[in-house]
């Protein structure tokens, strides 16, 4: 089948998109050169997703913004809960070392949330955790 009357830009695009071994050519289109010494590109090797981090990253791609904010809020709420536990434990005397360890671990793993509304609150909680740890001579 021969198509005539196509504007030059369309002919150029069609010629560029056609495969080198295709038998269909528009009139005026130059046949591409075939290099005999060209080697085919190596086939990509696919690996199975076995690590937990890869699976978590894939799940994170499918999260809605509401789910992301909820997950971030839970991380901040964990710090508040640990501060409450520390307060309750310190009412009866010196706090338990386990609570201080959990607070120190939370502070080490803490990262600011992406949500601007949560960032201010998260900074306040992080500061309070660090103050309490310093008060009990634990430093992060």
- Domain extent listing, the chain: 65-135
Sign of CA dihedral 9, 11, 13, 16: negative
Alpha-carbon separation of residue 27 from 4, 7, 12, 38, 46 (angstroms): 8, 12, 11, 27, 41
State yes or no: pLDDT of 84 exceeds 90: yes
- Share the mean pLDDT of the chain: 76
pLDDT at 77: 93
Question: 92 pLDDT band (50/70/90 cuts)?
Answer: confident
Q: Is residue 107 over pLDDT 70?
A: yes
Is the per-residue pLDDT at 78 higher than 90? yes
Query: What pTM does this model have?
Result: 0.52
Q: 52-88 burial, b for 16+ CB within 10 Å, e for fewer?
A: eeeeeeeeeeeeeeeeebeebbebbeebeebbebbee
Task: Give the pLDDT of residue 122.
Answer: 93
Summarised one tens digit per residue, pLDDT across range 13-24 is: 666 655 554 455
Region 38-55: mean pLDDT is 61
Rounded average pLDDT over 92-106: 87
Q: Considering only residues 51 and 113, tell me which one the structure prediction assigns the higher pLDDT.
A: 113
């Amino acid at each position: 089948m021969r198509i005539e009357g196509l504007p030059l830009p369309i002919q150029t695009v069609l010629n560029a998109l056609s495969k080198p071994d295709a038998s269909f050519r528009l009139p005026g289109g130059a046949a591409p050169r075939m290099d005999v010494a060209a080697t085919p590109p190596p086939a990509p090797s696919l690996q199975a997703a076995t690590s937990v981090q890869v699976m978590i990253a894939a799940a994170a791609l499918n999260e809605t913004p509401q789910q992301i904010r909820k997950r971030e809020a839970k991380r901040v709420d964990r710090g508040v809960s640990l501060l409450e536990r520390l307060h309750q434990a310190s009412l009866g005397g010196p706090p338990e070392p386990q609570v201080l360890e959990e607070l120190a671990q939370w502070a080490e793993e803490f990262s600011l949330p992406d949500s601007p509304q949560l960032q201010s609150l998260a900074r306040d909680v992080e500061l309070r955790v660090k103050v309490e740890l310093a008060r009990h001579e634990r430093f992060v």
